[in-house]
Chains A and B, each alone.
Chain A
């Protein structure tokens, strides 16, 4: 079945450093959605990208969708301790309603 691969699995940064997580698929994706899960919490929707080459920003977060719609990235500028958590990419499958397939997630830790 369709899979979404995400790297790295873990990332440890010093507060103020940048952070990037990458998401890749062997097949064209209809969209990419990003979620954040704080330790002990539940996933929270961040954003959806639909168009080829799309770039969206939310304050210090920049989301990109590749030209071929097979990859995506989330970049955080100048991390803060509040950014700690696991970031998941996901995609809904064509003609399968709203079912989402999630990547394995990237766990971000930020050292103050």
Chain B
């Protein structure tokens, strides 16, 4: 019974490159959430998705960031033309349908922009 799987665990990108972060939710969970955590800061909500639907993207920066959760395959958080300020830990979480009770978080992707 695998938990939430995120890959890669660590990602280094040069300024201007693209970063793709992947997340496979727990089996039976249809809701996926992406959060960003800057060093020594809390978790900031980015986007909430269900299969083929973006439910709430109020936390996503207006430019360069996008997310999807296709019918088949993992959820993808995509950051285009990365800048140093994008360096952070990006966590994906999943929950059963209809509730926010007891998120299960993945191990995160630590993005470093050099």
Residues of A within 8 A of B (CB): 6, 31, 33, 35, 41-45, 48, 88, 90, 92, 96-105, 107
CA distance A48 to B101 in the complex (A): 7
B69 within 8 A of A: no
Q: Which of A88, A100, A107 contacts B100 (CB 8 A)?
A: A100
Residues of B within 8 A of A (CB): 31, 33, 35, 40-45, 48, 55-56, 91, 93, 95, 98-108
- The 4 lowest CB-CB distance pairs between A and B, nearest first, are A98-B100, A92-B100, A102-B43, A104-B42
Q: Which of A42, A98, A100 has the most CB of B within 10 A?
A: A98
Q: Is the interface of A mostly helix, strand, loop or mixed?
A: strand
Known contacts A96-B56, A97-B31, A99-B33; is-contact A45 B103 (Cβ 8 Å): yes
CA distance A90 to B79 in the complex (A): 26
CB B112 to nearest CB in A, in angstroms, measures 14
Contact residues in B for A98 (Cβ distance below 8 Å): 31, 33, 48, 95, 98-101, 103
Contact residues in A for B33 (Cβ distance below 8 Å): 98-100
Is A33 in contact with B101, judged by CB distance below 8 angstroms?
Answer: yes
Give the A-B pair count, Cβ closer than 8 A: 67
CB A99 to nearest CB in B, in angstroms, measures 5
Q: Which of A33, A45, A97, A107 contacts B104 (CB 8 A)?
A: A45
Is B102 in contact with A48, judged by CB distance below 8 angstroms?
Answer: yes
CB A58 to nearest CB in B, in angstroms, measures 14
Contact residues in A for B44 (Cβ distance below 8 Å): 102
Contact residues in B for A92 (Cβ distance below 8 Å): 99-101
Known contacts A45-B102, A97-B48, A100-B33; is-contact A88 B43 (Cβ 8 Å): yes
Is B107 in contact with A99, judged by CB distance below 8 angstroms?
Answer: no
CA distance A27 to B49 in the complex (A): 26
CA distance A97 to B101 in the complex (A): 10
Residue of B nearest to A44 (CB): B105
Q: Which of B41, B55, B101, B107 has the most CB of A within 10 A?
A: B101
